[in-house]
Structure 1
Amino acid sequence: MAPRVEDMDDPPRFSWTDVCARRLHRHALTTPSTSATPADIAAAMASTHAQVMSAAELGIAMRIDGATRLDVREALWTERSLVKTFGLRGTVHVMPARDLSLWVGALSALPASANVMPKDIRLTPDQTEQVVAAVAAALDDAELTIDELTEAVVDHAGAWAGDLVMEAFQGKWPRWRQAMHLTGIRGVLCFAPNRGRKVTYTNPRRWLPGFEPADADTALAWLVRSYLGAHGPSTPQRFAHWTGTQSTWARRLFDSLGDELQQVEVEGDPAWVVAGDLDVPVVRPRGVRLLPYFDGYAYRVGNQPPALLYPGRAAERVLPGNFQILLVDGVVAGLWHQRRSGKRIDITVEPLGELGAAQLDDLDGQVERVGEILQARPQLTIGPVTVGSHA
């Protein structure tokens, strides 16, 4: 790593290549780490998107030399050094257990988003608090499936909580579930090990004795530092996009941190880093990487403008959907898909341009690594990906 040296009268300057190189390095995508744990990787990424758990397992393991999906599962369900819960933008994430109090403190302090449910369906503020209390009590000493949790919430809060009023896939969900993500954000619910094929939930206090949310000011300052460490240099506007909040609120938060942050320039535009965090990797982004579902989405949401991360044909072929992405030299250059059959995994990669001999060798290595992580024999096909994007 080389420090950024500038004239003392001018803010330090970065190129977008610098920003990309920093993020690839910090996310262990330049070179997989030989010493990091799964919790270290989730911390370096400022949490890992886990709507599809197999994708989160792949995304974390590929950043650790020699790791497999079993190492991530061990960290989650045995060591409990990772926690799977509702995080940024109300979606499922994996985060280090050591940081859960800060995550809960920060997420609970973010401005509430508007309730988009129709008036006759949405929860009142009082009902929302009743649901949070009911979930906390139900999971205090239990691991429950969603049906069992629904019964407990209805018993605690009243029949209204179980009204089947929410449109959901091929049926309807009970009213209380519009606040389910909030119970995770408040720190009274997290995922527990599956019971057979059924997902279960518990209270994180069962696994983390003494767990309490951090105070809002401490937690929000930590969240900004974590974001900038993983994705910076960046701006309040992009932080707002990452957290699902308003830009005006994010600007006030950045301003409140004063000397903790440092203004820099990224190709002439103002941006911010944690004060003194100016290092740029000497090695430029090189090579081929296969990122799983949601990993590429988080890579984009975190900072880099789509036009730079998805150049040329990638803007129309990959950007509109949630595909597994092919990175070449740090930018999106294609997409890929895998289909498992027993102990075999067929991997189709669709490059959007011609790959050179060295890049094809890199791709072979990535395919072998995916097979190793997922514990299957990989077979590579280079050609069109015919399946649609993941929702």
Structure 2
Amino acid sequence: MTTELKTRTIMDKTAPNRSTGIVNGESSNVLNWDDVRFSWAFPKYKKMLANFWTPFEINMGKDIQQFPTLSADEQETFKKIIGLLALLDSIQTDYAAKMADYITDSSINALMVILAQQEVVHNHSYSYVLSSLVPKKVQDEVFEYWKTEPKLIARNEFVTKGYQEFSENPSIENMLKSIIFDVILEGLFFYSGFAFFYNLARNRKMVGTSTMINYINRDEQLHVGLFEKIFKEVLNENPQYDTPELKEYAIETFRKAAELEIEWGEEIIGSKITGLTMREVSDYIKFMANNRCNQMGFGKRAVFPDGPTTNPLRWIKAYEDVDLGKTDFFEQKPRQYTKTNDSNGFDDL
């Protein structure tokens, strides 16, 4: 069973402005936010706009002073994670653009454009951090890590192959599978790296970088929420694809992804980083894999039935849930514009 996807037309004066489907639908491609198919699209649009930020906001002065004082292991892990994040967000920018080509609803297409722009900002952030801390030669080396690190290669090929299937054969089935890989990339593969930076921050180290990571973390949560919506709407409009085989595929893919993330955690954290144990990180990854799979509609604890039922890194919530609309948790300075969070309308992920 496979249904090819048709690309969105630039303009169709014979079609209604309000789309007839999220994929393979008809739409003039004229966007009127007061006449859209999906009621959740405009609230999501407002939340994504409210998350707007740029790397220039982050003062790296203290980080510049602190970086040379980090242990050799901390410095190496810091650089490897930045190198990984740069690769993943580069892939995301391209994937979002390819996905948008087949979204026949103009409001959802607009959200994909904003998402792609945010991924570009994330990539700029990694360059911004590295250019502040290390010489250009080292920065260039960090951006080449993904080509030579065996565990990075395995992780990256795992995701890119999932994306490539959709890119080369754009069908509804491959789109759905690619969204599973997207949720893995944005909602699981970043998370041992996030834990490392937040652990530095709780020890008052590299606070500028950790603040930036917090902004990126918030964007990625919104992105996961958006792709969850798209996934469920595609299935709602094409219920013949909502099969036991898709569920089994999703669970096995999340399990493999978690195993790869744990292997990467062993590489960058292991027993080298003060304040983080690999047991905690491993349990955290399993916890997140179960949560993300459940978020996609495949059941609680489906990936790891014996996995933890509560977050093993409880302290991390203080960093993930900080109210950036009122105060910057790390620097304790008021912000000048609103950042979304749970209390002012953030999606319940």
TM-score w.r.t. the length of structure 1 is: 0.25
TM-score w.r.t. the length of structure 2 is: 0.27
Structure with greater helix share of residues: 2
Larger radius of gyration: 1
